[in-house]
């Protein structure tokens, strides 16, 4: 039975903020909607480029909680002083039996909370959950070729660059590279 809201990790950021990493709960819906729309407006290095409606975010959260119940996903929200400041997740590849040991990772931190050591703690936490909760043996991710901050974080935590698909993304009216990275757990 999924323990919504369960606290996974608490720590102090480099600048002294109290940070909680925990499982999501229904009451996070408005905070999650606010955050995804702030990231879409920022036009940062994530797939989502258009703002979501409340119904779309409700579907996303519902789907996420269902996958967590089935042990096919761990999604974590990150809170500082009662405000959601980021999220990270790992989703099992379920389309084929041959890939069920593999997970896809995503991570975002709100702009004003970046560079404070929060992303690194989030990534360490989701890697631990991928291994010990989902029993995955490999995780992978894609990253915008121009996203040096994320690539540096991933390399620091042991991700290997597997390859680049040139021009696979349309970003700010230009075709840019999409990089693939993986890590064995």
Task: Return residues touching ligand COA (CB under 6 A).
Answer: 44-46, 107-109, 114-120, 141, 143, 147-150, 152-153, 156
- Quote the least distance from Cβ 34 to ligand COA, whole Å: 15
Partners of 26 in beta bridges: none
Residue owning tokens 């993986």: 182
> Quick check: 142 and 106 in contact, CB under 8 A?
no
4/140 with CB nearer ligand COA:
140
Within 135-180, where are the H helices?
148-156
Would you say 29 or 153 has its CB closer to ligand COA?
Answer: 153
CA 142, CA 158: separation in Å to the nearest integer? 15
Contacting residues for 103 by C-beta, under 8 A, at least 6 apart: 90, 91, 92, 93, 130, 134, 136, 138, 139, 140
- Identify which of 143, 137, 126 has the alpha carbon closest to the alpha carbon of residue 68: 126
Nearest residue (beta carbon) to ligand COA: 119
**Residue 63 C-beta: closest distance to ligand COA, Å:** 20
Nearer to ligand COA, 2 or 169 (CB): 169
Q: How far is the CB of 16 from ligand COA (least distance, A)?
A: 14
What tokens were used for 146? 């121009």
- For the CB of residue 46, give the shortest distance to ligand COA in the complex, in Å: 5
Cβ 70 to ligand COA shortest distance, Å? 25
72 phi and psi angles, rounded to 5 deg: -110, 0
Q: Which is nearer to ligand COA, 80 or 120 (CB)?
A: 120
Return the number of the residue (24 or 145) whose C-beta is nearest ligand COA.
145
């Amino acid at each position: 039975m999924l323990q919504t809201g369960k606290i996974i990790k608490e720590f102090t950021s480099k600048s002294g903020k109290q940070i909680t990493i925990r499982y999501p709960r229904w009451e996070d819906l408005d905070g999650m909607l606010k955050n995804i729309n702030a990231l879409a407006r920022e036009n940062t290095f994530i797939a989502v480029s258009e703002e979501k409606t409340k119904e779309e975010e409700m579907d996303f959260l519902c789907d996420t909680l269902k996958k967590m119940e089935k042990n096919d996903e761990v999604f974590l929200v990150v809170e500082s002083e009662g405000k959601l400041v980021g999220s990270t997740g790992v989703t099992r590849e379920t389309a084929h039996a041959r890939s069920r040991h593999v997970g896809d990772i995503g991570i975002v931190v709100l702009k004003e909370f970046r560079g404070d050591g929060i992303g690194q703690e989030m990534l360490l936490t989701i890697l631990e959950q991928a291994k010990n909760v989902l029993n995955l043996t490999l995780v992978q991710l894609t990253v915008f070729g121009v996203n040096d901050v994320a690539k540096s974080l991933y390399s620091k935590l042991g991700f290997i660059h597997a390859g680049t698909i040139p021009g696979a993304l349309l970003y700010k009216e230009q075709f840019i590279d999409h990089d693939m990275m993986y890590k064995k757990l």
